[in-house]
Amino acid sequence: MTTLAHDSLRSLGLTLLVVGCGTTGPTATRDNMAYLYGKGGEQLHLQARVYHHDEDRSTVYYKIPTRDLLYKGDGDGGPFRSAVRITYEAFPRWGSKELLDSASTLVQDRSLDTGEDKELIGSMDLRRNEHRTFVLKITAHDLHRESQSSVLLQVDRSEHALRQYFLPVDPENGAPLFGDHFTPGRPIKIRCEALAGATLNGMHAPPNDALPAPVFSNTPPTRPTVADSSFTISVSDDGTFTLTEPKPGVYHVHQDSLVAQGYSVFVLTESFPYVGTTADMLKPLRYIMSIQEFDRIAKNDQVRKAIETFWVDAAGDRERARDAIRIYYGRVENANRHFTSMVEGWRTDRGLVHIIFGTPTTIHKGENGETWIYGEENNLMSTTFNFVRRKGPFSENDLVLERDPMLKGAWYRNVESWRNGRIYQN
């Protein structure tokens, strides 16, 4: 169930209070941002995105599942209420301490059932400044539980037809969607009001099933597959268009035939981002199996049973095997939520490291990439991974690992730990 939180929709039981500028602490490149990828049991699962309606108006959309919030009653049996403060802070660049602007909204929901599972979706107008690009930090703070979560976005309004001038929406109710990844066969509706009435060029590329190489390999990074078809699409006068029967792969649309920058949607597996099928369970096991072992299980008449046998043999008993399965595939799903770009998140370099090594002790983010540190920072015994942002028209979430032969020992130690049922939970 989705609840829209907006000034014009207060009849749904939500009230918003917009507060003026504030001076909360800035985000800096050297801040530890390990929390961004879901570390901690009390994490708020905040999602956010920016949409430019036109040259003069931009909106920050946010979504929070109510299952992550604490609802309190007044002692008389209900209704129960939640209170979440949503704040955005704008900075001119990664690592800057100069606060350009900030604003906050108080979102209050009420319910007779504290176990009700719905989504609170709301928006805030993003005040413009002289910067065409800047960094935005959006934070949700549960005032009843004193827990919070943040999302960092690079805002770019340098020209039309860039990604943030497009917004996927629910085909039925027009509510904003917070990912660009979809399942096959279902219509995908896109808003792009700045391009109302325009004709866009489009292309489709088939899925890329390649897996990333181990962290110590000198194998070049995988590249996206080339287009297998092209098309044109007309944006309606109300600023929307629909991909009616999308097939697996990448769809990319752009206005200028000479400029590749535009917007991409990615059509992935039916169960994405969850591990919902036997194939979903088998494929990520390649990271901790030899090719011969993997092929033997893949060709088994009862693949699922063979997978379960692998985990029981690795862990030593069924109880430990259940824990290993829960943790391993939990990391697969978490990688899908955070690292998906042109392929599922578990297939990416960050997904590979996250599955094998877990959540880092420290994450530093910047305009050009991320650094993950396992152990104490500046300790020679710690393990460090550097991911560099790969420029391209399709995705801003495509980061490539700087592979290093010195990581070979750490890689095999962690793989062997999985195979021996010793799971380190970070």
Tokens 């008993």 belong to which residue? 317
* 131 burial level (CB within 10 Å; 0-12, 13-18, 19+): middle
Please give the Cα distance from 106 to 304 (Å, whole number): 47
- Beta strands 2-5 and 119-125 are parallel
Flag whether the pTM goes above 0.85: no
Tokens 């509510």 belong to which residue? 175
- The per-residue pLDDT for 263 is 92
Which domains are delineated in the chain? 2-158 (2.60.40.10), 174-212+222-267 (2.60.40), 278-419 (no CATH)
pLDDT tens series, the chain, 426 aa: 444 443 323 322 333 333 333 333 333 346 777 777 865 444 688 999 999 998 889 999 999 999 899 999 877 767 899 999 999 999 998 878 899 999 999 999 998 887 778 899 999 999 876 777 899 999 999 999 888 888 889 898 776 558 899 999 999 999 999 999 998 889 999 999 999 999 999 999 998 888 999 999 988 776 666 788 999 999 999 999 999 989 999 999 988 766 667 899 999 888 888 998 999 999 999 999 999 999 999 999 999 999 999 999 998 889 989 999 999 999 999 999 899 988 899 999 999 999 999 999 999 988 889 999 999 988 888 999 999 998 877 888 899 999 999 999 999 999 999 998 777 554
Closest CA to 362 of 39, 138, 26: 39
Question: Which tokens in the block code for residue 161?
Answer: 């037809």
First CA to last CA across the chain, in angstroms? 32
Taking 3-state DSSP, the helix, strand and coil percentages for the chain, each rounded to the nearest 5, stand at 25, 30, 45
Question: Which tokens in the block code for residue 370?
Answer: 């991320």
Please give the Cα distance from 134 to 20 (Å, whole number): 20
Question: Which tokens in the block code for residue 112?
Answer: 């007779």
Question: Which tokens in the block code for residue 405?
Answer: 């032969």
Q: Residue 98: how many CB atoms within 10 A of its CB?
A: 10
What are the residues whose beta carbons fall under 8 Å from the beta carbon of 8, sequence distance 6 or more? none
